[in-house]
Amino acid sequence: MTSPALAAPDVLSFDRDPGWERYGKNADDLPSRTMHQDFGWRPSNHAGGESPGEIGGVISRSLTRACYWVEIPTQTLETKLTLSGRVAIVRTDNNCAMQFGFFNKDSEGWRTPNSLVFRLSGENKERRGQYSWALADYCTQKWRAGGLGAFDGRYQTTDTPPIKSDGKPHDFIVAYDPKGASGVGEISIAIDGKEWKTELLEGHKEEGAVFNRFGLMNIQVSGNSMEVYLDDIRMNGKLLDFSDDPHWEGINNQGDIEEGVARPWNVMDWEETNRAGGDPGEMSVMMWRDEAPAYFATPISGLTLDDPIHAEGRLAFSGAGSDSGVYIGFFDSETKRGKETPDHVVRQSNILAVMLEGPSRVGHYFRAAYGASSGANGHNDSGPIIQPDGEPRHWSLDYDPKANDGVGSITVRLDEEEVVLDLKPEARKQGATFDRFGFFNMQSGGHYVKVSIDDVRFSGMKD
């Protein structure tokens, strides 16, 4: 939906760089890093197939998509799907991963929309050595994800041993049955004959996915590499022959890629673009969830919870990893710079903002959040869902100190949808102060969001 025009006099159109303040780790200070990809068809027999010839090699996590795949007839979540074969993990670095299975030609990012895959997530720990967890993942065409691991409980505490990176071949099967779990849809994974299964999350089957590619893809977050090989692959029961080069399509799967971005180095820039739908010129971030504080903001006249507070503008949400988020709104810069404790231990204080964040089963909510000066805080449990599709949207935030019987209330709007959050009495009693408006990060480890704003106006604007 194209956002409506905003009144002119007190609107920041960003037709030139306003020189917003950057705090925290900036990608401009990150030395360039080379990521190596070297995977495809190989004449070797690491995976222990019936005959030499297999696919795989060195696959690196990278923000740049790398694929080796083949076009297939279109499949959906109304289709029964299976992928099986043998896998050998030769080497794993810390924070490495790969995914193998069904994709769409436009699938990109993490979590990967339009995907149903066998995923390996690898590590190299001093005490435990090199190993991988095996998982079955899916993601709908609207970035809602689910799945399960080939282990009991949570991987952090499970008694199920991971797969060692010792080159030993293992059998795997990932299967999806649209009629399973009483028609909800069911996905399963088996390693060496032991099976785990779960149902699709509510609404995901109906939301759907479209698959027209089958093969290998890297995980598109910063990280390291693993060496893995697969053979005796069956796709929906059909054996794929790798005794000779199948000449599948390769995209960035051979060679070096220069990476200028990695967690926790944020990109915080004025850009002469118009993703948010206004004239050229906007403020943009690629901001990571990370324990260290970071913001990209401008000073404002001091505000408190006794003041009515307003902000609005245009916005484009153009990219995201899973488990990512950012705040857009008002905060106190001294409090932010001094926060050294992760958000999951102590929430942020002296903030009043839109919180763009959400669980992987949903994607990202657009909701209200606040933190008073001495710890009282709150946010909506849910809100309008926003997808990282780059579409221009109109947004607003309004705080009314007289609402909620004089305790105060926040209303956040995204186009025609809105969500209301009432302050707790103890929050209003504690109060809060704000001296900045802009983007600020969520201080709990995760991935990135890409957001641009334009044509904004907000309380406390300075000339």
pLDDT of amino acid 8: 37
pTM for the model stands at: 0.90
Domains of the chain listed by start with CATH number: 21-30+263-458 (2.60.120.870), 33-259 (2.60.120)
Characterize 363-395 residue by residue with b for buried, 16 or more Cβ atoms within 10 angstroms of its Cβ, and e for exposed: bbbbbbbbbbbeebbbbbeebbbbebeebbbbb
Helix, strand, coil abundance in the chain, percent, nearest 5: 5, 50, 45
Give the bridge partners for 328, in sequence order. Answer: 354, 439
pLDDT of amino acid 1: 36
pLDDT of amino acid 41: 99
Q: Is the separation of the CB atoms in 239 and 260 below 8 Å?
A: no
- For residue 242, give the amino acid letter: F
* Residue-wise pLDDT tens digits, 209-240: 999 999 999 999 989 999 999 999 999 999 99
Query: For the chain, which residues score pLDDT lower than 70?
Result: 1-9
Give the whole-angstrom CA distance, residue 224 versus residue 62. 8
DSSP state of 198: E
Give the whole-angstrom CA distance, residue 60 versus residue 33. 12
Quickly list DSSP for 367-411: EEEEE-TTS-EEE-S---B--SS--EEEEEEEEETTTTTTT-EEE
Tell me the H-state helices in 182-324.
204-207
Q: How many residues does the chain have?
A: 463
Give the whole-angstrom CA distance, residue 403 versus residue 412. 14
* Residue-wise pLDDT tens digits, 33-69: 899 999 999 999 999 999 999 999 999 999 999 999 9
pLDDT of amino acid 126: 78
Look up tokens 């060679």; give the residue.
Answer: 255
pLDDT of amino acid 7: 39
Nearest Cα residue to 144 out of 199, 207, 211: 207
Give the whole-angstrom CA distance, residue 384 versus residue 451. 16
Q: Is the separation of the CB atoms in 449 and 432 below 8 Å?
A: no
**Helix (H), strand (E) at residue 428:** helix 425-430
